[in-house]
Amino acid sequence: MMSVGVAGAMASAPAGIVWTKTCLVLKRELGEATFGSWLGQAALRETGDDVCLVAATGVARDWIARHAWRRIGELWAQNDPLGRRLDLKSRMEFDSDGSAAAAPTLAPVAASPAPAAPAVFEIDADAAPAAARQGRLLGLQERFSFETFVAGPSNEFAFAVARRVASWSDGHFNPVMFHGPYGFGKTHLLNALAWEAMRNEPSKRVVHLSAERFTTTFVRALQDRQTAAFKEELRNADLLLIDDVHFVAGKTSTQEELFHTLIALVEDGRRVVMTADRSPTELSEMEPRLRSHLQAGLVCGIEPADRNLRLGILERKLQTLAQQGRFLPSAKPEVMQFLADRFTDSVRELEGALNTLVARVGGDLARLSLDEAQTILRPHLSCNERKVTVDQIQKVVSEHYGLKQADLISERRARAVARPRQVAMWLTKQITTRSLPDIGRRFGGRDHTTVLHAVRRIEALKAEDPAIARDTDVLLRKLRG
């Protein structure tokens, strides 16, 4: 399948011209931010006389169907002299119907070039079992590959660096350090790097281990007087990968050995990649010279996933679960959005919540309502959430928007007050068990229909307005500690 630019599509396929005209109007009507969020990764594809708009994910497809499909149809009909029918599918649906291989991309929706698809490396059938055995000996997990890693603004730089290291390219920064919060993909990235590095250069020696395993193996070598063998094992590696290096902080002899191993490998032109839960500057218990050498290479931060990335991760996870369970990878948008908004602290928790739903309902996930999903997850939610009061929500929201708490319960209707009030109501519905009438009473004696309108309005705005999406994300994190 080959992607071509808009100019090439216009010259070779009338559908490209039609879609380009449609996009110009849609961008103007929806706004650049909304267009980019929901249509920016979509592509127009043609198979014979059939034309299909392929959305990046099922969530994006559902949003387009609800909010933009009628208008797209009108614009398409106005601009297409051939009167062709335009269909809408997610990428997963389109690829699974067997027509993907014969369908060139006529025009990417965004004006900028589409990013290159991640390469898939084929392994000889006879070599595959050997590669898998080697990976298992290294403690690698097969499910952690570049193909299953969902990249977004918070991790795309780290992702690009990992792929470059795995390709054994020249101009490599050494060492490379990935750091970020627990549960946001560092281990996945390190595993993926190891798998691809071995596929690209089977003759190269890759060593992967956790910092804890480094420590226990080193201590055992000291006890058994086998330190020379331990040093040789690590220093003959072409690529050394160490996960959770913060574990060695405060362990004097282990840090000393790690320091000398790092120096020996770097000076010999061999490559070292490590991960930690903090940047080297924040590892205060680590020996200064080791910390300094970790900073001397390339330090890549991985930030907490934003809402769009969390939705993408859920979409990818659902596709994997559906393939394993042989059911359609579909769920109601409000259920997916609830998971993305509720489980913000760790990708592992996010995926765990989806695992729980699939384990309970299996192929019936597509019919699962939001209330049913919340009921299933309630025990999990209650044991992981600290008690947050309406008063705390009002205080945090008013501080965030530079208001007084009294403004949120006042009769003032100016947008500068009304919008934060709606955000506060939405937050209260999300992270407390209070009913709509009770929430209304706590916000100046308002009717439950006012609260319901506020909740629905903020849900809609989060999909359309990046500023509201950021505000709600920041406030959720702050309230949940």
What is the pLDDT confidence band of residue 31, given thresholds at 50, 70 and 90?
A: confident
pLDDT at 366: 86
Taking 50 as the threshold, does the pLDDT of residue 29 lie above it? yes
What is the pLDDT confidence band of residue 281, given thresholds at 50, 70 and 90?
A: confident
Q: What is the DSSP letter of 255?
A: H
pLDDT, tens only, 102-141: 444 444 443 333 333 222 223 333 444 555 555 555 678 7
pLDDT at 138: 66
Higher pLDDT, 98 or 181: 181
How far apart, in whole angstroms, are the C-alpha atoms of residue 376 and residue 357? 7
Taking 60 as the threshold, does the pLDDT of residue 410 lie above it? yes
> Is pTM beyond 0.75 here?
no
Burial class (CB in 10 A: 0-12, 13-18, 19+), 126: exposed
Average pLDDT of the residues of the chain:
80
What is the pLDDT confidence band of residue 225, given thresholds at 50, 70 and 90?
A: confident
Residues facing 209 on adjacent strands: 242
pLDDT, tens only, 144-181: 888 888 888 888 899 999 999 999 886 668 899 999 87
pLDDT at 124: 38
pLDDT at 178: 93
Sort strands 50-55 and 206-210 into parallel, antiparallel or unpaired.
unpaired
Which residues are CB-contacts of 242 (< 8 A; sequence separation ≥ 6)? Answer: 208, 209, 210, 211, 214, 258, 272, 273, 274, 275
